[in-house]
Amino acid sequence: MKFGCKRKTLFPNKVINLSATQRKEIHKRFKDFLKSQGLRETRERKVVLDAIYETHEHIDADELHLHLRQQGHAISRATVYNTLNLLLRCELVVRHQFGNSQAKYEPSFLFGQHDHLICLDCKKVMEFCDPRIQSIQEMVADAYSFEIKRHALNLYGHCQRPECAGRAST
């Protein structure tokens, strides 16, 4: 039922800079969620939300914590983790596990659905988009009587970028 990637191109239609209206929409969604759950709207929670939406990379909780500390926010790691879980629950961010044990987070609201290409050497993560995944999803849902909420397709390999010098295995 969710909107999938309908375009012919492989490249995802990711919004890079949010307009003031979009920013407000995001804030509203979080505020409404917190109110609906009887949770408080704190400075720290807003700061985490904004930081995630400013970062156009796949970031982990610790990087996010460090980033916020460097910006002068006296926020603890525990609060970062706590807030990330709230943002997951209201679907403002998504969590990825790219093979390593550390989870990566990414804003999801207003951004197109997409999948990932991960370089095994330099660990760079790229994004792509293919409408066929949507039909695979529907077909599998039907065959298995499964109500599918989301998917993750990760392609692992070796990128050809000259900057990629990494070599992992023998």
Partner DNA sequence: ATAACTGCAAAACATTTGCATACAG
Partner DNA sequence: CTGTATGCAAATGTTTTGCAGTTAT
Site of interaction with DNA (CB under 7 A): 38-45, 60-62, 74-79, 81-83, 85, 101-103
> Residue 66 or residue 126: which is nearer to its own copies going by CB?
126
Query: Which neighbouring-strand residues pair with 117?
Result: 126, 155
- Taking the C-alpha atoms of residue 87 and residue 108, their distance in angstroms, rounded to an integer, is 10
CA–CA dist 99, 103 (Å, integer) = 9
Kindly tell me the burial class for residue 3, based on how many C-beta atoms sit within 10 Å of its own C-beta (0-12, 13-18, 19 or more): exposed
Partner that binds at residue 149, options its own copies, DNA, none, CB closer than 5 to 8 Å by kind: its own copies
- Minimal distance, residue 19 CB to its own copies, in Å: 29
Residues sharing a CB contact under 8 Å with residue 148, sequence separation 6 or more, in sequence order: 137, 140, 141
17 binds, among its own copies, DNA, none (CB under 5 to 8 A by kind): none
Task: Report the residue number, 81 or 128, with the smaller CB distance to DNA.
Answer: 81
Nearer to DNA, 61 or 119 (CB): 61
43 contact, one of its own copies, DNA, none, CB 5-8 Å limit per kind: DNA
Nearer to DNA, 102 or 154 (CB): 102
In angstroms, what is the minimal distance from the CB of 70 to its own copies?
A: 27
Phi, psi (rounded to 5 degrees) for 158: -120, 125
